[in-house]
Amino acid sequence: MLISTRIRKSPFWHLSIEAGAWRADVYNRMYHPRGYVKPEDGGAMAEYDALVNRVTLWDVAVERQIRVKGPDAEAFVDFVITRDATKIKPMHGKYCILCNDRGGILNDPVLLRLSQDEFWFSVADSDLLLWLQGVNVAKQWDVVIDEIDVAPVQVQGPLSVDLMAELVGDVVREIPYFGMLESEIAGCPVVISQTGFSGEKGYEVYVRDATLNAENVWYAIRGTGARYGLRVIAVAHHRRIAAGILSWGQDMDNETSPFQVNLAYHVPRNKTTDYIGKKALEAQREQIESGNYPFKLKMVGLKMGGKPITDYAPDFWLIQNTEGVRVGYVTSPWWSPELHINIALAYVPWELSEIGTPLRVELPEAYAEASGEHVKAEVCDVPFRPSANPSAREKAMLAGRDYTD
């Protein structure tokens, strides 16, 4: 990739290059490291091993921090997210979605509530700042909406708790899932949340005044982490697929309804206040409950044959039914070392979404079992592996019930 001044670099970018990043893409109009271990040295699966067995550090400053602050912050946030913002306590966060008036998912950030009148949206790959400012253009709410000089890194893996405790004290062990803590690392102010994009135990460290403090925090985490076998890696898409965690722009976008991607629990039945997309989403739910599914495709999990997929898929691979008719496509595939099979998130017609449904996938020649031939696939449960911190959706699935909030 050409690195130039036209695309923004995070305050960790040069540190990621120093740590061995050899490839990148663009996310939220910023350069985003996407690989540290070269293929000849084990590639992405060596990074996977470090994540699931030790501890890892990720540059995720591309998750820009959009702040909504002011007397009407809670009311404004409650209007733009589908969940009930009044239920989020200060120094706690939630995974949330924002929809347009047709119920399409515009973004799925982690939403952090710093205080009664201050929220941070840790945004996925879309221009949420412009959307939020546009919603408030008539100045109906007394808030300031801006991007702040805060940049996050993620510390993920089973040894992350011990590492973070050594950095900031044992108090970090008591942070609940989606809980938050104000602290310092190397004398620099940070906000720590027990969250992450991996399905493993982990934390996000939000560095305040990041243009000044990024280096000190990064080196402090790496220095202490060396005793725990810390490795700097790219965002762990292989592990998030196994956990059933979605990636905006890859698994969903502004044309996708939450009901298509197993996010129905984000469309609460008991939220009495209005929010953007409420009318459309409630109408969709009524259709579904009456047996009239309003969408052509639904997201499912797949187990499929083929050679191990151990790197990012360069395209959306097509799915056939058992008669050879193309009916859907794969969004996020990867090899599961634990299951010894390729796994994927994929879209298929509603009538082919039942667990156990046989399908076929058209893999490229590099992964196909034989040139020009499809591989067998089967619809299966998601997540493929239990998460260290199961989501509300995952808990509900394990309990065999619907979840609403």
Q: Binding site residues for substrate, as ranges?
A: 204
Q: Please say whether the beta carbons of 375 and 369 come within 8 A.
A: yes
By the 10 Å C-beta count (0-12 exposed, 13-18 middle, 19+ buried), 250 is classed as middle
Q: Please say whether the beta carbons of 14 and 201 come within 8 A.
A: no
DSSP SS3 for 116: coil
By the 10 Å C-beta count (0-12 exposed, 13-18 middle, 19+ buried), 195 is classed as buried
The closest of 272, 273, 345 to 304, measured between CA atoms, is: 345
What lies within 8 Å, CB to CB, of 114 at 6+ separation is 90, 91, 120, 180, 191
What lies within 8 Å, CB to CB, of 370 at 6+ separation is none
Tokens 């493993």, residue? 200
Residue 158: CB atoms within 10 A of its CB come to 16
Tokens describing residue 79? 């209007």
Q: For the CA atoms of the chain, what is the radius of gyration?
A: 21
Strand partners, 378: 303, 358
Q: Please say whether the beta carbons of 36 and 233 come within 8 A.
A: yes
DSSP SS3 for 394: helix
What lies within 8 Å, CB to CB, of 33 at 6+ separation is 13, 16, 17, 21, 23, 24, 59, 234
Annotated binding site: 204
DSSP SS3 for 83: coil
Q: How far is CA 221 from CA 55, 56, 162, 215, 296, in A?
A: 11, 10, 12, 10, 47
